[in-house]
Structure 1
Amino acid sequence: MGTHVIKMPDIGEGIAEVELAQWHVKVGDLVVEDQVLADVMTDKAMVDIPSPVHGKVLSLGGQPGEVMAVGSILISIEVEGAGNLKASDQLVKEPAPIKEAAPAVAAPKVEAAPVLESKPAAACRPAPQAPVARDADERPLASPAVRKHALDLGIQLRLVQGSGPAGRILHEDLDAYLAQGTQNARSGSAPSGYAERHDEEQIPVIGMRRKIAQRMQEATQRAAHFSYVEEIDVTAVEELRAHLNEKYGATRGKLTLLPFLVRALVVALRDFPQINARYDDEAQVITRHGAVHVGVATQSDVGLMVPVVRHAEARSLWDSAAEIARLATAARSGKAARDELSGSTITLTSLGALGGIVSTPVLNLPEVAIVGVNKIVERPMVIKGQIVVRKMMNLSSSFDHRVVDGMDAALFIQAIRGLLEQPASLFVE
C-alpha cells in the first residue's frame, strides 16, 4: 500500500491561495476516482476538487473556512501500489486527522460533479422519528439552508435524527421531526409553545457567506454611495406585457417585467455612458463600456449571487427573458460557471413581490450604478383632473458619487421612467 497526496491545485487567474469551503469526505472514507472530495472557493466561484485515484482517506489538510496556499497538501489517500508521496512531500508535516466540521454551503461549481441517481421525493423521505439525544455542545451536520429552516421552525437540530451521509440532517428530516411532533400533540405530549428557550447556535462565516460579507463591506467602505428613488407608473408596460404573453406566451415563453427593465437600461444608457462603467479606484481609471452586461442579483440558498446577462444591448425581450431564467436556475442550483458570475457593467436587483416601498441597494463594485426594483402596487392617482387607479412602482437606485453626479443619476432614472411609462419608445430606433 502507498500514499497518494493531493495538493491544492493552481486554479489559474494568478490565484495564490483559496479558501477551503467544504469537505465531502472524512478520514476513513473509501473514495473512487472522480469523486468530489472538497469544494474550494476563489474570489469568483466555488471549484470542485475530484479524486484522481481509488483509495481510503488518511488525513485532511484543513478545516472548512481555512485559507490554503496553492501547492499545500489538501488530502492524503491510501492507495494500492506505491502512491505518489515524494521525499519532498515527506518533509511536510502531515496535519493530524481532523473532526469533520459543519460543512460550508454548496455554491456554483466549475467542474461537473458526478451524476447521482435521483429518487422520487416520497421515496427519500424518512419516517417520523423520535428526538435524538445529543450533548449540548455537539454540532450536528447540516447545511446552512437546513439550519435556517430549522431556526424558522423553532427546531433544535441536536434533537433531529439525520438521514444523510454521515448522519447529516436534511430538509426531509425536519419534516419527519415535525410529523412526529404533530403525533405527540395529538396524544397530548407536545411541549407548550410558550416554553422558555435557551438554545443558541454559532454559525461560522465561511465560504460564500464570507465572500458576500467581504464584498458588501468593501463596497460600503470604498464607494461614495448615494441613492435616488423615483416613482413610475407601470400600468402601460404591464398591459403590454400581458398582451404579449397572451399572444406569444405559448410559443416564445412568458415575460416578466425584468426583460422590459433590461431593455430600458440599454436604451437609457446610450445617453449616459458614464453610468455604464467600472471604476478602478487604485489605478484611478474609469472604463466606460459600449456593451451592456447586466448583472441580475439572484437570491440562492447560499446567499446573494449576481449572474450576468451579457450583451443585453443585442437581445430581444424573449432572448433576455430566457437568459435571465437560465442564469437564475444555474445560480440557485449551484451550477453557474465563473465567467457567468463576473464582468457585469451595471446591476439590476429586485425582490419581486417582497420589494417593499423603498430600498438602498449596495453597489456591486467596481460598477458605479445599481438599479433596484420595488414591488408594484395599485394606487389612486390624479391624471388630467380625474382620480384613476394605476399600477405604481418605485425604482430605488444607488450610484458611486465619485464617478456619477447627482444630476446625471436623476436624469438617468427619469429616462428609464419615460421609457417604461411609454413602452413603445423602448423599441423605437
Structure 2
Amino acid sequence: MGTHVIKMPDIGEGIAEVELSQWHVKVGDLVVEDQVLADVMTDKAMVDIPSPVNGKVIALGGQPGEVMAVGSVLISIEVEGAGNLKESAAPVPVKEAPVAPKVEAAVESKPAATAAPRPAAVCQGPMVAREADERPLASPAVRKHALDLGIQLRLVRGTGPAGRVLHEDLEAYLAQGQSNASAPAAAAYAQRNDEEQIQVIGMRRKIAQRMQDATQRAAHFSYVEEIDVTAIEELRAHLNEKHGASRGKLTLLPFLVRALVVALRDFPQMNARYDDEAQVITRLGAVHVGVATQSDVGLMVPVVRHAEARSLWDSAAEISRLANAARNGKASRDELSGSTITLTSLGALGGIVSTPVLNLPEVAIVGVNKIVERPMVVKGQVVIRKMMNLSSSFDHRVVDGMDAALFIQAIRGLLEQPATLFVE
C-alpha cells in the first residue's frame, strides 16, 4: 500500500491561497477517481476538487473556513501499489460553482437544480439519531425550507454527498409522517431553548465581505420612482401570445434591460466603473448588465454581455441561460464578472421599496419592486392601473442626485410609452 498526497492545486489567475469551504469526505471514507473531495473558494468562484485516484482517506489537511496556500497538503489517500509516498496537485477542477457576492437582491428565490437529476430520496427508518448540538450538512435554502415546514434537520436522513440533507430528503421525511407539523397542536406552544451557531465561511463569508466593502467605500444614496407598467404589460402579453410558442415567453426583465440600454445613451455616467484608489472613472460604451440571481449557495450576478446589441428575445434567452447556469453551479468566472450596471429584482416578493447595495466598482444599480394593481386618477377618471416602483441606488461620489433622478425618469418614460424603446 502507498500514500497519495494531494496538494492544493494552482487554480490560476495568480491566486496564491484559497479558503477551504467544505469537505465531502472524512477520514476512513473510500473514494473513487473523479469523486469530489472538497470545495474551495477563490475570489471569483467555488471550485470542486476531485480525486485523481481510488483509495481510502487517511488524513485531511485543513478545516472548513481555513485559508490554505496553493501547494499545501489538502488530503492524504491510501492507495494500492508501491509503498513509496506519492504526491500530486489535485487535478484541474471539473466544475466551478459561481460566487455572486456583490449584490443586495436577486431575480427570484427558488431551490437550485443539481447538475444531474437525482433519484427520489427514500427515508431509511423513522429518523436519524444525531446529537442535539450536531449540525447536519445542508444548504441555506434547505434549512429555510425545513424551518418553514417545521422540521428539525437533525432528525432528517441526508442522502446527498457526505450525508448532506437535500430538498428531496425533506419531502421523504414528510411522506413518512415524521414532520413536526403533524405533531399535536400543543407542541406548537412548547418552550424551546435550543441554539444554533453557524460559522460564516465560504460563500457566506465572501458575500459578507463584499457587502461590507461596498457600504464602507461607496457613498450610497437611493432614489425611488413609481411607474405605470400597464402599457408594457399589455405589450408583453401580446408578444407572448403571438410569438411565445416560436420565440419563447418574455418576462419583464428583457424590457427593463432594453430600457437601461436606451436610457444610458443620454446618461453614460451611469454605465461606469469607479476606481477609487486611482481616482479614475471609466465610462463604457458596451452595456454589460449584471442580473442578480439567487441560488442555494448564495447571491450571484451573471452578466448579459453587450445588451446594447441584443433584441428582446435574445436578451430573454441569455437571461434564462445565465440564471439556470448560476443556479445549477455551472456558470463560469467569465460569466460572473465584467458587468457595468446591475439590475436586481425580487420578483413577486419585490415589496414596495428596497435599498439595493452597489455592485462595486459600478456606480448604479436599478432595483425592481413588485407589480400591483391600484386605482389611479387618469385624465380626471379613477381607473385601475398596474403600478411598479423602481428602487435604485447610486454612488454619490461620482453620480449627482439630479442626474440619478433624471436617469430613472428616463427609464420611466420608456416603460410607460413602450414604443419609444424601439424608436431609433
C-alpha separation between the residues in 1 aligned to 2:191 and 2:149? 15
Match of 1:172 among 164, 168, 174: 168
**1:389: Cα distance to partner?**
1.4
- Mapped contact 1:5–1:77 kept (Cα < 8 A): yes
Matched, 1:342 2:337: yes
1:303: Cα distance to partner? Answer: 1.7
Q: Is 1:209 aligned to residue 207 of structure 2?
A: no
Correspondence for 2:53: 53
The 5 Å alignment of 1:39-118 reads 39-82=39-82, 85=85, 107-108=97-98, 118=117
Seen in structure 2, the aligned counterparts of structure 1 residues 412 and 168 have a Cα distance that, compared at 3 Å, is closer
Residues 300 and 331, structure 1, Cα contact 8 Å, conserved in 2 = yes
Task: Give the Cα separation in 1 of the matches to 2:305 and 2:83.
Answer: 45
Deviation of the 1:83 alpha carbon: 7.5
CA displacement 1:295-327 (0-9 Å, x = unmatched): 001111122111100100010000000000011
Deviation at 1:131, TM superposition (A): 3.9
1:376-409 C-alpha deviation (Å, 9 max, x unpaired): 1111212222222111111100000011111110
Q: Say if 2:223 and 2:404, in contact at 8 Å, map to a contact too.
A: yes
Please tell me whether the aligned partners of residues 226 and 398 of structure 1 are also in contact (alpha carbons under 8 angstroms): yes
Q: Secondary structure at 1:192's aligned position in 2? A: helix
Q: Which residue of the partner structure matches residue 356 of structure 2? A: 361
Residue 117 to residue 398, structure 1, CA distance change in 2 (3 Å):
closer
Shift of 1:120: 4.5
Separation (CA, whole Å) in 2 of partners of 1:246 and 1:393: 23
Please report how far the alpha carbon of residue 125 of structure 1 lies from its aligned counterpart in structure 2 after TM superposition: 3.1
Quote the residue 1:196 is aligned against: 191
Query: Matched residues in 2 for 1:119 and 1:219: separation?
Result: 38
Structure 2 CA distance for partners of 1:208 and 1:228, relative to 1, 3 Å: same
Residue of 295, 311, 317 corresponding to 1:316 = 311
Among candidates 325, 330, 354, match of residue 330 of structure 1: 325
Q: Secondary structure at the match of 1:227?
A: strand
Cα distance between partner residues in 2 of 1:301 and 1:153 = 17
* Gap change, CA 1:7 and 1:119, over 3 Å in 2: closer
Cα gap change, 1:18 to 1:250, in 2 (>3 Å): same
**Alpha-carbon offset, residue 182 of structure 1:** 6.1
**One-letter identity of the residue aligned with 2:168:** E
The CA deviation at 1:183 is 9.1
Give a deviation string over 1:116-171, Cα, whole Å, max 9, x none. 974543xx3336x4344433223333333322222222322233333445444333
Q: In 2, Cα distance between the equivalents of 1:265 and 1:301?
A: 28
Call closer, same or farther: CA 1:117–1:154 in 2, change over 3 Å: closer
Return the offset for 1:421. Answer: 0.8
RMSD: 2.4
Q: In the alignment, what sits opposite 2:105?
A: none
Query: Retained in 1: the 8 A contact 2:149–2:179?
Result: no
Partner-residue secondary structure (3-state), 2:270: coil
Relative distance call for 1:116 and 1:9 in structure 2 (3 A) is same
| Structure-2 separation of matches of 1:302 and 1:358 | 25
1:26 corresponding residue in structure 2: 26
Q: 1:257 aligns with which of 252, 268, 287?
A: 252
Separation in 1, partners of 2:290, 2:126: 46
Counterpart Cα distance in 2 of 1:287 and 1:403: 11
Bigger mean CA deviation after superposition, 379-388 or 232-241 = 379-388
Q: Distance in 2 between matches of 1:206 and 1:337?
A: 21
Secondary structure of 1:26's partner?
A: coil
Structure 2 portions without partners, runs of 5+ = 88-95, 100-113
Q: Deviations over 1:246-291 (max 9, x none)?
A: 1100000000000000000001001111110011111111111110
Which among 233, 240, 265 is matched to residue 235 of structure 2?
A: 240
Equivalent residue for 2:420?
A: 425
Alpha-carbon distance between aligned partners in 2 of 1:238 and 1:83, rounded to the nearest angstrom: 70
Give the one of 271, 277, 280 matched to 2:275.
280
Choose the corresponding residue for 1:150, options 146, 149, 157.
146
Change (3 A) 1:195 1:39: same
TM-score by length of 2: 0.89
- Whether the aligned pair in 2 keeps the contact of 1:292 and 1:311 (CA below 8 Å) is yes
Q: Which amino acid aligns with 2:15?
A: I
- The correspondence of residues 128-143 of structure 1 with structure 2, limited to 5 A, is 129-143=125-139
Question: What is the deviation of 1:172?
Answer: 3.1
Change (3 A) 1:17 1:250: same
Shift of 1:11: 1.2
1:22 aligned counterpart, secondary structure: strand
User: Could you tell me the percent identity over the aligned residues?
Assistant: 88
Supply the distance in 1 between the matched residues of 2:83 and 2:374 (Cα, whole angstroms): 72
Q: Deviations over 1:216-269 (max 9, x none)?
A: 111000000000011111111111111111110000000000000000000100
Tell which deviates more after alignment, 375-384 or 352-361. 375-384
**Whole-angstrom CA distance in 2 between matches of 1:84 and 1:13:** 33
Q: How does 1:352-391 map to 2 (within 5 A)?
A: 352-391=347-386
Are 2:12 and 1:8 aligned? no
**What letter matches 1:268 in structure 2?**
A
Q: Which letter maps to 2:240?
A: N
Contact 1:225-1:399 within 8 A present in 2 as well: yes
Return closer, same or farther for 1:385/1:278 CA change in 2, 3 Å cut-off.
same
**CA 1:84–1:261: 2 relative to 1, 3 Å:** farther
* Counterpart for residue 158 of structure 2: 162
Name the stretch that deviates more: 362-371 or 60-69: 60-69
Cα distance in 2, alignment partners of residues 30 and 340 from structure 1: 35
Per the alignment, in what secondary structure is the counterpart of residue 291 of structure 1? coil
